[in-house]
Amino acid sequence: MAHSPWQKRGRGQARDGMAARPPQRALDRHRLRHLLDAVVAVSADMDTRTVLHRIVEAATDLVAARYGALGVLSETGEVIDLITVGVDDPHLCAAMGLPLGHGLLRTMVDDREPLQVADVAAHPRSVGFPPGHPVMRTPLGVPLMVRGTVYGDLYLADKLDGTPFDDDDVGLLTALASAAGVSLENARLYEQLKRAAEHFQRRMLPALPDLSPLKAAARYEPASELLRLGGDWYDAMALPDGATCVVVGDVTGHDVEAAPLMGQIRNMLRAIALDRDGPPGLIMSRLDRTLTMLTDPPTATLVLGRIERGGGEGGEYTFGWSNAGHLPPLLVGADGSTRYLAPARHGIPVGIDASVSRFSHEHPFPPDCTLLLFTDGLVERRGEDIDTGLGDLAEQAARLAAAPLEELCDTLISRSRQVFDDDVALLALRTPSDGPAR
């Protein structure tokens, strides 16, 4: 009886029949899945350096290569960065320096085509390796290119099983390079946008005026992620009656759009404070009424403070403030003592309900003491209670009680962190040692 084309074939037919193909199809599916996983891996981050590392790691893993590298090219074609996998000694990498951009690697970039070499030593364009470089025999490379622009070159060497690279390896690496080039371009565009947004935010923040005899310093640190950047601000100004007005605030809804809203609130508050005298709670209430008259009022947390000196030459300073849902100011004594100014009554963020009462508070601001106003990016960390961050800030500020304000601000901002989950605004003020002007 004739076999149906869908019937299972016998052992003798498995070699050249349909049943011989599933193992190859299974292998192809496995490699395709591996490729898709690699594409997802290199597309999962916008930080350029992280993207570069993921590209090289994914490429070496995808084709089981012993060594991998990615050279980043400048607009003029010079190698400006090199990411490696398989060369574990960082001192060796530093000693070898960046590739000079000639020889086989230059051929790949100039031709804009994949490069596959069976024996690098025998190739006419090989220029050898620098001293200490691992011996590599069979390179495979592809340019990272998007819309005619070459961003770098991705190259591997020596498969782990000792076999030469084949056409399937070339195809997989070329496919990964196409996705990686787009990811690298997106990462660069992201970095450009982040720098532009940060520049815009900084331009909206004021240069501190001379507040003598008070000393003042301020810092702004952008969030590491673009979507978290924008909205924090500080401000300080001398009022017509001789007092000093200080503000630190944080617009609700951190993103790039928060920056112009921050400017709107800051300018309104400046105008109200300069035009009308009064305690901070009254100024805050006027800001509330102004904001809630808008069709779509912005909201923000903030601390508005007023620093003034009592009558007579020996009069001491007083800090008066109103808090609209913000973290409390920190007062650091000359002896290193610390106290958060957090009375029981505080208000909700501005821009929500103008009928809610605002409160004014006062506290002595003794000679040679430091007042810190800050936004939550300074003390909030993922996976950590904010009270822990507030405690750490007070402890570090106590150790810096006698330090110059600029040094104090720099140290508090850095706090051994390289990544900021949120942007940070910090304003520091210090009274003169003897109270009155010197």
Integer Cα distance of 42 and 246 in angstroms: 45
pLDDT value for 359: 94
Q: Which residues contact 236 (CB under 8 A, 6 or more apart)?
A: 206, 208, 209, 211, 216, 218, 244, 245, 246, 247, 427, 429
CA 342 to chain centre: 31
pLDDT, average across residues 344-365:
92
Asked whether 232 and 250 are in contact (CB, 8 A), the reply is yes
Mean per-residue pLDDT, 5-24 = 42
Query: Is the pLDDT confidence value at 112 over 80?
Result: no
Helices and strands in the chain: count of H runs, count of E runs: 9, 15
At 107, list the tokens: 């051929």
Where is average pLDDT lowest: 74-78, 110-114, 339-343, 345-349? 74-78
Work out the pLDDT band at 11, boundaries 50, 70, 90: very low
With beta carbons less than 8 A apart as the criterion, state whether 305 and 319 touch: yes
Please check the confidence at residue 57 and state whether its pLDDT lies above 60. Answer: yes
Distance CA 277, CA 320 (A): 13
Are 301 and 313 a contacting pair, CB within 8 Å?
no
Residue tagged 């084949």 (tokens): 166
pLDDT digits 0-9 by tens, 369-416:
999 999 998 998 877 888 999 999 999 999 999 999 999 999 998 864
Q: How many CB atoms lie within 10 A of CB 382?
A: 6
Given a cut of 80, whether residue 227 has pLDDT beyond it is: no
User: What percentage of the chain's residues is helix, strand, coil (to nearest 5)?
Assistant: 35, 25, 40
How large a percentage of the chain has pLDDT more than 70? Answer: 69
User: What are 117-121's contacts with CB under 8 Å, separation 24+?
Assistant: 118/164, 120/157
Peptide bond before residue 134 is cis, with ω within 30 degrees of 0: no
Least confident of 76-90, 184-198, 205-219: 184-198
**Total Cβ atoms within 10 A of residue 82:** 18
Q: 52 or 265: which carries more pLDDT confidence?
A: 265
H or E element at residue 65: strand 65-73
pLDDT per position as a tens digit, 260-303 = 788 788 889 999 998 877 899 999 999 999 998 888 888 999 99
Q: Which of 265, 260, 188 has its CA nearest to residue 229?
A: 260
pLDDT at 272: 92
Strands (E), 252-346: 300-309, 317-324, 330-332, 338-340
